[in-house]
Chain A
């Protein structure tokens, strides 16, 4: 038994110094983290589906039963296999030019994932740079960046992207560049506020006192600490970019035929949807499932990032 001593203060302060006891909570361990990953149903589903999509994109040439660009005029608008007139030759049927829908769908995964990934990278670099600078320096830099963000938010993305894509003659590359230049706002907003909270953190202060150079502080101290939030934003922006590409392509100003963009496939099937609804249902569901999976992954990561459950 030991008796520790407390310097004299007001009685309430002294007695609250005595009462240090808190109900002990189990320490976070790796087993808890893994349990939360797999205990989180949404995150697990999202993870599995996204991994599946990545595998499909990589191995599309091996998986696809047909050449996605091969036109077979004799076999146009073949219904999917579960339909009375369907056959196993074209599991998901063919389109108006006789191209195999399943093969186009599998190759379309490449387009959607490429768009999502590259757009998120471009907009991530732009947005994070702006956000970190604004959050770290504050003052005038912050005012300017905030103004740019406000302005960007007021621009109608779909309209501006449509107009610019039309002018530059829509292609996969232009769509990627355009969306990359347009979708950085959330990166900027999030990295700005997280950096702001961190600017006064002790380790950043310590690095400053030690005379570390600014790029060093930003890259080595600030960036790793906002990475968690950025990954969450990244998944959300990937989903956003994939949906926007599909929308642009659907409206005829995005990815151009004969590329198997899912949005384009819906547009091409639109004329037939009244009697052969599967032509729009199949690519639409593919799009929905991919975006859903990425969103589930993002939501799950956010929950892991912020303990306290899904709120």
Chain B
């Protein structure tokens, strides 16, 4: 019995010591409302890895994840569960831009920091840490315009009509093409971020406009579109935007495609987490998050892959599975640089 007590006391003591090894402890809830793509899985894995890195800095960041295919009320329930659990911060990849205003207000009332990532939200009680989808759309168009020397016939293949990110990306490329009067956008079609539909749309486009020079196609459909371009034997005549997945990047190098890919990195949630921890430590942003249409956004830099640096991108992805996306995120130090 004595031995047992000694053992128990020892255990308690060691737990107490390990608990006090960290200067600070934060609990952060991650909510993801859609699990239809590997990108989302990678997003959560990277956020978890980012949380583990804080241990080296003496900060214990405990993450609690809710990730399932849910409807909007289901994701509101995610937030409620986090409030009940008493987390310090919630990072959410939201299923709706506007539906979370009331619940985010409640979270803020409970003293919880709310950060949206990947898709902007209208709530004044949250901030957005992620990329600017308008700039994302503009970057691909800018690359295409430069590659074509400022003139030619171009087709756009877009995602889901009415989806906020899609509308922003469309506005982005339209803005760029407006500055290049010799670039003619002959058609814009929707392929719903689906590879098969992207391939089909591209086939139709090639049949209707055999003389096009360029294609602006969003990720999630670009691999399909490129397949149609290659099947038609036009890979040397057409420049088109591409994907950041490893299998596409490998194809890109092998077939010497004339492509450029704007990166929407799955690391955005990891970046948001690093920003969240620094905010929980009471630090203040040098420039308050006031960008974007809702005036609550902190935009992250958007990397770009073209034929010049595609080999480097391939190096980062070496040994990863084909569905793995090229990624980037703010390291703790890079995030710290954003704060006073």
**Bound pair (A, B):** no
Question: Which residues of chain B have a CB within 8 Å of any CB of chain A?
Answer: none
**Chain A: residues with CB nearer than 8 A to chain B?**
none
